Structure 1
Amino acid sequence: MFVTQAFAQDGETTGHLPPASDVAAAHGETIHVEGDHGGGFPPFEPEFFPSQILWLAITFGVFYWLLKTVIMPRIGGILENRRDRIALDLEAAERMRSDADEAQAAYEQELTAARNRAHTIATDAKDSAKADADKERKRLDAELNDKLDAAQARIAQVKTSALAEVDQIARDVTDTILRQVASIEASQDEIASAVSQADR
């Protein structure tokens, strides 16, 4: 808006410029003077609700798309891999336990057959060579004791190995779940203590 020369000269002589409404009136312009409006906080104004709802829907849609296409598949993949690994480890532990049971059954079968054989030898030779039969029986008992000790040591070793692997697997899985899913850092001692308490 320009101040005309007449109004400018008038303002210079009087020391002040005329109001803008007078200047606009002189030029045929209409000025709307906005007073102080007492409106509230814009997000709480009903006239802004549609745009806010639109942006809420857009934001929710983007978040849902990210959650569905990025976040949930990664979490699902991690859990699926862990579940497969746990299943494989449990299958291996079950196979080791089955091997231990088979070794124990074979040992019991051999022990039964050897005892039956020793009893038959002792019975057949009772009258003619009781001393020799006793000597042979003692030898067989010693052999069976050695086999028994060896078999028990093997069974204990297999069971200890299987249980140690299961404990280690449980600690590894717990550590991985705490780090990747729950974002919790825990020491190996704390994880081992928690796993041992869970086993009890």
Structure 2
Amino acid sequence: MAESHGEAKGGEAKGTASAHTEAEGGHGFPPFQKETFPSQIASLVIAFVALYVIVSRVALPKVGAVIDARQKSIDGDLAEAQRLKDESEAAMKAYETELATARARAQAIGAETRDKLAASSEAERKALEDSLAAKLAAAETSIASTRATAMSNVRGIAADAASAIVQQLTGKAPAAKTVEAAVDASLKGTA
């Protein structure tokens, strides 16, 4: 066990010594050594040129193609959206025009129907009024005829009644011409 400690101490001393040697001008970290700068720069330039050629010849055309395709897709989508918008606006205008036309037709049909119904009801009213006027005239004629008949019967009835009353009161029958003259005079006064 003691040997392992000694080896560890000796190894530690050896590592420290090599670090001092490198720092004093020995071999240090290769990228920072002056002797390797030209070869490192040449390697860097070659790697950069190779990377540039690969990127510019392979990757950038693919990226450019993707960007162009995407732009074409966007432009196509925008054109399609504009076309659909124009179509929808045209359809909306056509709809509004048809709606206005339909409203105008409906109003015209309504007005025509209203006028027809008004004319029809006016004709029916006129016919009913004419019918009622004819019935009224017939009724008035009938009433006048009945009245004339009744009045002619009244004269005879009045003459008979007056004759009967005078006979009852006086005991003698009056002359028919006298009774008729008295009834006529009485009827002329009331008529």
Instruction: Compute the TM-score of the two structures, normalised by the length of structure 2.
Output: 0.44
Structure having the higher helix fraction is 2
With structure 1 as the length reference, what TM-score do the two structures score?
A: 0.42
Higher relative contact order, structure no. (Cα contacts within 8 Å, ≥ 6 residues apart) = 1
